[in-house]
Amino acid sequence: MKLSEVKVDQIATIRALGSDTHFLSRVTSIGMTEGTRVQVVRNDRKMPLLIYVRETLLALNRKDCEKIEVEVKA
């Protein structure tokens, strides 16, 4: 499942990141690595996705969220 598909207040674990080296450099520098847990705070269409990761609130654009594969536990 893509990060952009996760519903508000759900917690997901990052399973895979896109292969673009510039993208990988940006997301890993803010602590988003495989195995990291993220919580979706806001997920409105056509707006950046707000997530809570490693005690920090981040806004990610939808294009980047499509490159992040996550697993949601039911």
Name, of 12-16, 17-21, 63-67, the range with top average pLDDT: 12-16
Q: How far apart are CA 44 and CA 74, in angstroms?
A: 22
Q: How does the average pLDDT of the chain come out, rounded? A: 93
pLDDT in tens, 45-66: 889 999 999 999 999 999 999 9
Tokens at residue 9, please?
């207040």
Q: How far apart are CA 63 and CA 40, in angstroms?
A: 16
* Position 74 pLDDT exceeds 70: no
Q: CB count, 10 Å around CB of 11?
A: 13
Q: What's the length of the chain? A: 74
Q: How far apart are CA 30 and CA 47, in angstroms?
A: 20
Please name each of the domains of the chain with its CATH number: 3-72 (2.30.30.90)
